[in-house]
Amino acid sequence: MDRLIEFLRSKRHLLIFLLLEVVALALLFSGSRYRSSVMLSSANDLTGRVMETAQTVRAYTGLEEANVELLHRNAMLEREVLRLHNQLERLSVDSLSWQRLGRDTLERPFPYHYIVGRVVGMVLFDKSNYLTLDIGKQDGVAVDMGVVSTDGVVGIVQAVSDHYSRVVPVINSTFGISCKVEGSDLVSILKWDGQDINHSLLTNIPKHQSLEPGRSVFTSGYSASFPSGLSVGTVVGPGKSPDDSFFAYRVELSTHFASLKYVYVLQYESRQERNVIEEPVTDRRSL
């Protein structure tokens, strides 16, 4: 109460001025029908503009909510596309291998689920770039989960709290991902060279292998973080290889990081089982 009184006392001159303005306007327009109509018209115009602005704000908010809903629907479609891609890869083996695999292998459920998240922070112009998402442990996010956008691969979850997660993107000098090139079984490594946020370097290319510009680069599926077939980028031309024994090629990344707002975190339900079987053997006597 004391603070309110102190506030009114400090603003008393302004309040008195506004009160006198109201009284003066009331006296001015009450004596003339024309002036009253002008005032009413102006008030209606002002009210209309305010309501129009409010409606625009509500419409924008509604679009934001609709956008999130579309992202959830898109996540379901993306998952279905990857599931079908996974089945097609299995079907592409020869007939003898098909008989060995058996029908149950194809009917195995797709093990990845999408969690929609919003980018709330990012560092993009450093060697150690990172992103911050507004989803964490309580949303099902865990360390080492892959992160993708509607366009392609984004990165891998590095750290998680209850409500937030930190992502190491492909445009980080410590990041590397196993890739395949369209029309080839060649496996290579995508490694960011730090030149710009729209390109990276495809390394470990044998010198007898030539890659033409325009060929697509996808995830190989040799990591638990990403299934095979996710878009990584497009070959644009030769690059400077960090190893003289191999060639390297510049790749234009599929994901546009400067305008990135929403992402999908890939929740791999078989991760723990796969990690156990792939962890280094420390005691061979137990084999």
Structure token pair of residue 131: 């992103």
12-30 and 2-10 helices cross at what angle (nearest 10)? 60
| Residue-wise DSSP of 94-149 | -HHHHHHH-HHHHTSPP-EEEEEEEEEEEE-SSTT-EEEES--GGGT--TT-EEE-
- Residue 210: per-residue pLDDT: 85
- Residue 3: per-residue pLDDT: 62
- Residue 31: per-residue pLDDT: 57
Query: Whole-prediction pTM value?
Result: 0.64
Structure token pair of residue 270: 């078989």
3-state secondary structure of 42: helix
- Residue 152: per-residue pLDDT: 92
- Residue 284: per-residue pLDDT: 40
Provide CATH code, domain 111-269: 2.40.10.340
In angstroms, rounded to a whole number, what is the distance separating the alpha carbons of residues 116 and 228?
A: 20
Using CB atoms within 10 Å of the CB of residue 229, give its burial: 0 to 12 exposed, 13 to 18 middle, 19+ buried.
middle
pLDDT tens sequence for the chain (287 residues): 556 566 656 766 766 766 666 666 665 555 555 555 555 455 445 544 554 565 555 545 555 555 666 665 666 666 556 665 555 555 454 554 445 444 444 455 667 888 989 999 998 888 889 999 999 999 999 999 999 998 999 999 999 999 999 999 999 999 999 999 988 888 999 999 989 999 999 999 988 888 899 999 999 988 889 988 899 999 999 998 888 888 999 999 999 999 998 999 999 887 777 778 877 654 443 33
Of all helices (H) and strands (E), which one includes residue 250?
A: strand 247-253
Using CB atoms within 10 Å of the CB of residue 141, give its burial: 0 to 12 exposed, 13 to 18 middle, 19+ buried.
buried
What contacts 251, CB < 8 A, 6 or more positions away? 190, 199, 200, 201, 202, 217, 232, 233, 234, 235, 236
In angstroms, rounded to a whole number, what is the distance separating the alpha carbons of residues 271 and 253?
A: 27
